[in-house]
Amino acid sequence: KNQDEAAQVRYHLQPEELQSPRLKQIYKELLDMAEQGMEFSVSALEEKNPELYQVAISLSVEELPQHDVLLSIKRIKQRNLKSEFQELSSQATSEERLKARLEHRRKQKELVDLFENPSVT
């Protein structure tokens, strides 16, 4: 099950979509390990980057409720989309605001479609 979840995360989420610099760094390290054929796990960080491993361990031992990985990814993407739209909608002209609104709707539809038919291939 963990490997399936890891595959979903790698497929749907890019490091730059994370707001926390620490989480972004941990995620980049894990992706680098996967590209090098190493195990995609927090424990694999221990040898490669002990300091980052300590941060990852402290995050992993927090009491977190069981949740759907795709739902978490969707929330990250929705938050990013909302921030992007707010930034674009502050454009000076009404034409730019209209374009931003249309682009936001298109991306929302893509997000809905993506998570109605998730794929890890």
Residues near 78 by beta carbon (within 8 Å), at least 6 away in sequence: 111
SS3 for 52-99 is HHHHHHHHHCCCCCCCCHHHHHHHHHHHHHHHHHHHHHCCCCHHHHHH
What is the DSSP-derived secondary structure letter of residue 4?
H
What is the DSSP-derived secondary structure letter of residue 43?
T
Domain layout of the chain by residue ranges: 1-64, 65-121
Angle at alpha carbon of residue 63, lines to 116 and 39, rounded to 5°: 65
The mean pLDDT of 103-111, rounded to a whole number, is 86
Lowest mean pLDDT among 4-13, 16-25, 94-103: 4-13
Per-chain mean pLDDT for the chain: 77
Please determine, for residue 74, whether its predicted confidence score (pLDDT) is greater than 70.
yes
Global pTM exceeds 0.75 = no
